[in-house]
Amino acid sequence: MNLTARETEILSAMVDRLIPSDELGPGALEAGALRYIDRALSEAESDAAEAYRNGLTALNRYSEYSRGKPFTELGDKDQDSVLIDLQTGGATGAGVGFVGSSGAFFNMVKSHTWQGVFGDPQYGGNVNFTGWDLINYPGVRMRVSREEQRRLEDDQLEPVRQSAYDFTQFQTGEED
């Protein structure tokens, strides 16, 4: 909705390297982090859309400058290396074009990726509670009995698979 197809392709590759799918389970793409970010850029984070556009363009320029290829054409190791350069603020040179530091851009995308993977599904990410399953989060509960707390501590509590917004007190137009 907010980014061009090329920008989305670059962001997708970046998000995939931040939390990749592996033997432990699905990664950020499967969890819907990209959809979450796109939705956020239309709503609560709309002021960050331009920073994404500039940052993704600069990321690709830096990749071409330092590794000889666009970011999406690099192998995993080279992509990781470029992202380390971004994270440490070292992605500079040849008029790459980061507004501020590359580290600030990296941290913004990392934060939004984590929100998209581990946040409440109501916001468009954490599809099928993928992120919560990765960290064994038992789900939102409005209160926890002593027995439930004991079962939680013993890792025997069944997860609740619902958004906080599924509780009536968070639904608009409904009275408790």
Do residue 159 and residue 126 come from a single domain? Answer: no
Alpha-carbon span 35 to 41, nearest angstrom? 10
Same domain membership, residue 96 and residue 56: yes
Retrieve residue 64's tokens.
Answer: 């071409």
Q: Quick one: 73 and 60 in the same domain? A: yes
Distance CA 136, CA 125 (A): 17
User: What size, in residues, is the chain?
Assistant: 176
Based on the fold, state whether residues 154 and 131 are members of the same structural domain. no
Q: Are residues 111 and 176 in the same domain?
A: no
How far, rounded to the nearest angstrom, does the alpha carbon of residue 39 sit from its chain's CA centroid? 12
Do 98 and 43 reside in the same domain of the chain? yes
* pLDDT given at position 169: 66
pLDDT at 16: 97
* Domain coverage including residue 36: 5-135
* Same domain as 116, residue 48: yes
User: Are both 118 and 40 inside the same structural domain?
Assistant: yes
Note the pLDDT tens digit of each residue in 51-86.
999 999 999 999 999 999 999 999 999 999 999 999
Q: Are residues 121 and 173 in the same domain?
A: no
One domain, residues 16 and 73: yes
Number of domains in the chain: 2
- For the full predicted model, state whether its pTM sits above 0.85: yes
DSSP per residue, 91-127: --STT---SS-HHHHHHHHHHHHHHHHHS-GGGS-SG
Angle between the N-to-C axes of helices 33-42 and 49-67, in degrees from 0 to 180, rounded to the nearest 10: 130
CA dist 94 and 69 (Å) reads: 15
Average pLDDT, the chain: 89
